Amino acid sequence: MKEKYKNLFIPITLKNGAEVRNRIVMAPMTTFSGNSDGTVSEQELKYYKRRAKGLGMLITACIGVSLDGIAFPGQFTAFAENADENLKKLSEIIRNEGTKAILQIHHGGRMAVPALIPGGQAVSAGNIPSPRTPDVIPRELHEAEIDRIIEDFGKATKKAIDTGFDGVEIHGANTYLIQQFFSPHSNRRTDRWGGDIQKRMLFPMKVIDKVKRVAEEYGKKDFIVGYRFSPEEIETPGIRIEDTLVLVENLISKELDYIHISLQDIHAKPSMGSGYDKSMVEMIIDKVNGRIPVIAVGGIHTPDEALKIVEDGADMIALGRELIMEPDWVKKAEEDQEDEIAVKMSRGSKDKLVIPDALYKQIENTDGWFPFEK
């Protein structure tokens, strides 16, 4: 590889002692392609196998932890009756390449799809609908239900351990349930689960505590626990970067192995408010100050772009859409073929790129999601 890219391929040791062989991560991306019974499909296994080689970590699509939290057609679930067999196959496919296999665990909350959940009733911190799905009126969760969902995150962690994964990533981003409890838009409760920022953090912190207890009891010493979050929301009231910096301080106190900043544009500055000279990623890296590994994601395509983010302070970079378009990204970066890395998708490339049918259909039908060659 070229000398200038060496910093992308330096191993990193996480908080628990787990060694990741390089700084390149596959971001978690929904495939819409699981089997109808909630198990991982053969198409998904082939898709991940095509992309696992050479990475430091691969974070899977999010697995549903609860019946009332399914947010996507074709989402695989931790509670599916026959989940174990193909989850084991998935972890083996990833780990056989020397890549850390991370299972992202998730509850959709008010973003759950009514047709996919019991009774068609979405649940959340409160009964405030999302502006994205205004016709879905969630029901406020009762105390016992909150406790049950926390237990479900623990059960999903045990499932990850039992099926051979190296770790889990708690999905606290992208407007799903954990973020809904943290958000002043969706959480207007007046009990211990809502109110000021410290009370709104209670649910995320309880989920982390449960996941870490299960990991410590049943997992290996170097079982990885990470947390993904979105730095701000478009809603008013909503999460602002100042809130996120408080959250980050609390995440650091939980001795997590990494935090993962979820953004579409890694260079984005806070859009809610003014007077910010730095990007949100830069502000978070400054806040962390080396106390916990940080994964940054958001529109990275080339090794030069990835290198710049690492040199600016991120410990790892995650590639999402880029690894769908270019499964050989790591190989080409290592073998001085960076000029051959595809940064656009060609029409009719589904089979060549080993993309599941349902995912490719979403890609083709969603304007602006992926850049296509003309």
CB atoms within 10 A of CB 343: 14
Task: Please determine, for residue 266, whether its predicted confidence score (pLDDT) is greater than 70.
Answer: yes
DSSP 117: S
The pLDDT value recorded for residue 273 is 66
pLDDT in tens, 316-366: 999 999 999 999 999 999 999 999 999 999 999 999 999 999 999 999 999
Name the residue with higher pLDDT: 272 or 246: 246
Closest of 186, 105, 194 to residue 139, by C-alpha = 186
| Length of the chain in terms of residues written | 374
Give the total number of structural domains in the chain.
1
The pLDDT value recorded for residue 226 is 98
The pLDDT value recorded for residue 271 is 87
pLDDT in tens, 150-182: 999 999 999 999 999 999 999 999 999 999 999
Mean pLDDT of 217-240: 97
Residue 9's alpha-carbon distances to 13, 116, 156, 324, 365, in angstroms, are 13, 42, 31, 21, 36
Classify strands 224-229 and 100-106 as parallel, antiparallel or unpaired: unpaired
Classify strands 19-20 and 12-13 as parallel, antiparallel or unpaired: antiparallel
Task: Please determine, for residue 50, whether its predicted confidence score (pLDDT) is greater than 70.
Answer: yes
Q: Which amino acid is at 157?
A: T
Residue 19 in any domain: the answer is yes
Q: What is the residue-averaged pLDDT of the chain?
A: 97
Residue 374 in any domain: the answer is no
Provide the CATH number for the domain around residue 22.
Answer: 3.20.20.70
Confidence of residue 1 (pLDDT cuts 50, 70, 90): confident
Residue 254 in any domain: the answer is yes
Mean pLDDT of 257-278: 91
Residue 312 in any domain: the answer is yes
Q: Is the dihedral of CA 19, 300, 271, 203 positive or negative?
A: negative
Contact between 247 and 236 (Cβ < 8 Å): no
> Is 176 tagged catalytic?
yes
How far is it, in rounded angstroms, from Cα 194 to Cα 125?
8
Residue 121 in any domain: the answer is yes
DSSP 271: S
Task: Please determine, for residue 24, whether its predicted confidence score (pLDDT) is greater than 70.
Answer: yes
Residue 373 in any domain: the answer is no
Instruction: At 260, list the tokens.
Output: 């993962």
User: 244-251 long-range CB contacts below 8 Å, 24 or more apart?
Assistant: 244/280, 244/284, 245/283, 245/284, 245/287, 246/197, 246/201, 247/182, 247/201, 247/204, 248/284, 248/287, 248/288, 249/287, 250/201, 250/205, 251/208, 251/227, 251/292
Tell me the Ramachandran region of residue 32: left when phi exceeds 0, alpha when psi lies from -120 to 50, beta otherwise: left
Closest of 262, 278, 244, 248 to residue 318, by C-alpha = 262
Task: Please determine, for residue 308, whether its predicted confidence score (pLDDT) is greater than 70.
Answer: yes
Contact between 248 and 286 (Cβ < 8 Å): no
- Which runs of consecutive H residues, i.e. helices, occur in the chain? 42-52, 83-95, 143-162, 177-182, 197-200, 202-218, 241-253, 280-288, 303-311, 321-325, 329-334, 350-353, 357-365
Task: Please determine, for residue 275, whether its predicted confidence score (pLDDT) is greater than 80.
Answer: no
The pLDDT value recorded for residue 274 is 65
Tell me the Ramachandran region of residue 160: left when phi exceeds 0, alpha when psi lies from -120 to 50, beta otherwise: alpha
How far is it, in rounded angstroms, from Cα 229 to Cα 179?
8
Mean pLDDT of 217-237: 97
Q: Which domain holds residue 321?
A: 3-365
3 state SS for 137-171: CCEECCHHHHHHHHHHHHHHHHHHHHCCCCEEEEE
Which listed residue (47, 48, 176, 258) is catalytic? 176
Mean pLDDT of 269-288: 90
Residue 305 in any domain: the answer is yes
Residue 186's alpha-carbon distances to 201, 213, 239, 268, 358, in angstroms, are 13, 28, 10, 24, 31
Across 85-99, 150-164, 228-242, 271-285, least confident range:
271-285
